[in-house]
Every structure is written in C-alpha cells, then in structure tokens.
Structure 1
Amino acid sequence: MSIALKQVFNKDKTFRPKRKFEPGTQRFELHKRAQASLNSGVDLKAAVQLPSGEDQNDWVAVHVVDFFNRINLIYGTICEFCTERTCPVMSGGPKYEYRWQDDLKYKKPTALPAPQYMNLLMDWIEVQINNEDIFPTCVGVPFPKNFLQICKKILCRLFRVFVHVYIHHFDRVIVMGAEAHVNTCYKHFYYFVTEMNLIDRKELEPLPHLQHIETPGSPRRPSLCHSFTVIPTLFLSSTPICSQPLNVFYLHHFVIS
C-alpha cells in the first residue's frame, strides 16, 4: 500500500514532515515486517494482528507513527481545497461537528474551521510522537503507563481526518484516481484500531461498515450508510480519552471534541 500511495500522491505535499524509525531498533524491524506484509498482499485483518512474542506497545507505536505519516500524505494532497471558506467548521457532514480542546489555548471544546483544526491536530500529534517520555526510542526505556490511553486519543482524532476527507473532499481524491488507495488506508486503519481495541465503536459511526468499502481493483466511494439517520448529539470531552462514557443530549447532530 505504501508504494501505491507514493505513486498516487505528491510527496512534496505532505502536510507534515514524515516521522521515521531509527534503523537498528526493534521498532524499525517491526515497521519493516508490517510493510512487508502489506506489500505482499496479505489479508489486512491478518496484517494488523500482534506478531507472536512481540510487545503490544511497540506494535501500537509503529502503527500510530505510520498512520500519522499516511494520513498526513492524504490530507496534504487535498489541503489546498480545504479552506476556511469551503470548510468553516471541522465537520463530517451535517450531523458530525468536531471541536478542538487542548491543555494550552483551547481549554473548552471550540468550534474551528477545518484547516485550523487540522493544523492544531497535527501539531499536537507531532508533540506526542516526538516526546521521548511517551514514544521512547532508546532500547530498554519503558513506555509510560498511560501510553495506550494517549494512542487511543491520537488515533481517535486521526480518524476524524478520514471522516472529513471522505465526506467533504472525496471528489478531489477521485480526480487524482486515488480513491482505492485511500480506501485501503482507511480499511487498514479500521482493522488495526478494532483489532487492538483502540477506538470506541461509537466514534467510528460517521463512516460506513467495511463491506461498503472498495480497495484497489474496484475503486468506488464508500456509501455513507448513516446519511439519513436521525442521531442525537454527543458531547465527548477529549481531555481523558475518546472511549469515555457518553453524555447524550437530544439535539440535531453530533458535537464531538
């Protein structure tokens, strides 16, 4: 899949610099093994399973960084069409609005234009994956106890990029002839987060079930199966993790932070 993505997308339009693994480390070897499995055409469900004898945290770290790189590449290619005029609110269609919250400037969930939300999101993820206390690169240095919780939050927020691209910018993906490759990237992401139980199922509702998703060989846009469903609003604080209990308010659409 990585080869196909590089062929379709312009690497110069990557939204953020690509994060790489240090050669000679266990994580570098895991990354090579994962890429070899993907490039060999192995079933994606099998490719995301934790290899026997490997550490779960290392496996998750490899995939978090890899998905960050891939999703950067996808969004970077269409970001010139994602502007404050075209996307005044970070959303996934008329029913899902994503609000930004952090521990710095935005103490409360705040509605922002999609490009501003994306910038804040990618900046925030870069800080996390470049923090040696969270993603240690030295052999023998343990992961923090809350490592998986942090990764859940990162992946939950990266999923929102897929939602926004699919619902608001998929026409540009089609023009590039890249829909099958984006679908494969999403399918890989979906299988991984569900296999490793890293995103609450409620968070995945804005996009369709996998049986609607086509991959290389039969490129079509996934049918958005929730388009005509009346769904109550959900307010999810992003301060702990995305899988926290939901407070449901019966309004017109989801507002998620």
Structure 2
Amino acid sequence: MSAGRAHSYTWLNNRLEPTEIPAHKYMSLMKRWISAKIDDVQLFPTSPSTVSFAPNAAFVSVTAFSVSDSEDWVGRSSGFPKEFASTCKTIFLQMFRVYAHLYWSHFVDPFYHLNLEKQLNSCFSNFLLTATSLDMLRAEDLEPVQMLVDLWAANGTFPPKSKAYSFAHVKSGEKLMQCGLEAS
C-alpha cells in the first residue's frame, strides 16, 4: 500500500518483519487489528465501576494524551493502561495511512467520479483536526498529504488557531488556490 512514490506502507508479518502487501489486504488487516484493540477490555475498559469522576474538570487538556513515562497517565484512574495513549497514536496513524492512500490512488476514481469528494474531504479534514489537536499525529506524519493540508489552511477549512493549521505552509496553499483559479 502506498501514498505516492515516496510513501510505501508495510505490514508486520508474524515474524515482525515489514512486508509489502496490496492496499485492500493492508486495510483489512488494519481494520481487524484496530477492532481487536478496541474490543480488548484491558486496553479500553468498559466496566462502569472503574470510571472515575472529576467534578471540577471542565475539560481535559489536549496534552493529557501525550505519552508519559511517569506513573500518572491519562485514564489511569479509570483503569486505562499506561500504553493507552501510544496505542491510540498507532490507531490514528494507521487510519491516516488509509486516508493518504485513498487520496493518492483513488480520489479521482471512484470519489470524484461518483461525486463523493466533498464527503471524503469532510471526513478527512475533521479526522486531521481531531488527530492533531489530540497529538495523535505529528507534522512529519502528514507529509504524504502536505499539499492538501496547505490548501485547507489557506482556504479556511482549518481554523487558524488549530494545530492542523500550524502544520501547514499557508503560502504554498495560497499558491495552490491561485493555480486552481487560473485553471478555471
């Protein structure tokens, strides 16, 4: 599976060796892996008896999801394990890779041809805003879709105070917008 010439995504086989596989198989394995993680009650506790309550907490700081080496981590008081944040980051990265592949290999056919590009853009832009605000993706992770990030920052899809916007090269996005206007 790839996202352009510079980004090839491999899957770890049973011997933990990177293996190149077709995109549809990568997505199937990824979906199964994520489902197994979410269904694991040790990683994602579901018992209401373990839920903690913080009466004065208006919100959780977005930096609370950062991976921490200390003995206090996000979700600890509710029974979430120490590796919860790093597992979530891996889940977000895997999902991002699928989006990147879809944009590079399937945007025109089928999304554009079926008039579904607005739905894809809406889902992906919201995914990026959420993933970046929770520190689930880093700026370098976005490289395969950097031009899209730049464009969305320049055209107002990303709010200027968002982390996704801060990862953009707005001047490049403005140039892309200008090219689009000249082409029309």
Quickly name the TM-score band, shorter chain normalised: 0.5 to 0.7
Partner residue in 2 for 1:123? 32
Aligned counterparts, 1:41-190, within 5 A? 90-101=1-12, 105-141=14-50, 142-171=79-108, 172-190=110-128
Pick aligned residue for 1:197 from 123, 130, 135: 135
Amino acid at match of 1:195: S
**Unaligned segments of structure 2, at least 5 residues:** 51-78, 158-171, 173-184
Shift of 1:210: 3.1
Please state whether the residue corresponding to 2:49 is helix, strand or coil: coil
Contact 1:91 1:98 in 2 (8 A): yes
Cα 1:144/1:137, change in 2 over 3 Å: same
Shift of 1:106: 4.6
Distance (whole Å) between structure 1 residues aligned to residue 49 and residue 124 of structure 2:
33
Distance (whole Å) between structure 2 residues aligned to residue 168 and residue 211 of structure 1:
19
Amino acid at match of 1:206: P
Amino acid at match of 2:100: V
Contact 1:125 1:154 in 2 (8 A): yes
Give the number of the structure with larger relative contact order, counting CA–CA contacts within 8 Å between residues 6 or more apart.
1
Shift of 1:140: 3.3
Distance (whole Å) between structure 1 residues aligned to residue 27 and residue 15 of structure 2:
14
Distance (whole Å) between structure 1 residues aligned to residue 100 and residue 149 of structure 2:
14
Please state whether the residue corresponding to 2:4 is helix, strand or coil: coil
Partner residue in 2 for 1:43? none
Cα deviation code 1:66-98 (max 9, x no counterpart):
xxxxxxxxxxxxxxxxxxxxxxxx000111100
- Which TM-score applies when normalising by structure 1? 0.46
Partner residue in 1 for 2:68? none
**Unaligned segments of structure 1, at least 5 residues:** 1-89, 216-224, 226-257
Contact 1:133 1:143 in 2 (8 A): yes
Pick aligned residue for 2:145 from 194, 207, 219: 207
Cα 1:151/1:100, change in 2 over 3 Å: same
* Larger-Rg structure: 2
Amino acid at match of 1:187: S
Cα deviation code 1:100-135 (max 9, x no counterpart):
116xx2511111111111111111111001111111
Shift of 1:211: 4.5
Distance (whole Å) between structure 1 residues aligned to residue 114 and residue 80 of structure 2:
40
Please state whether the residue corresponding to 2:8 is helix, strand or coil: strand
- Which TM-score applies when normalising by structure 2? 0.63
Distance (whole Å) between structure 2 residues aligned to residue 154 and residue 210 of structure 1:
20
Number of aligned residue pairs: give it.
125
Q: After TM superposition, what 4+ stretches of structure 1 lie above 6 angstroms from structure 2?
A: none
Distance (whole Å) between structure 2 residues aligned to residue 116 and residue 187 of structure 1:
25
Distance (whole Å) between structure 2 residues aligned to residue 182 and residue 106 of structure 1:
35
Contact 1:100 1:106 in 2 (8 A): no
Cα 1:212/1:106, change in 2 over 3 Å: farther
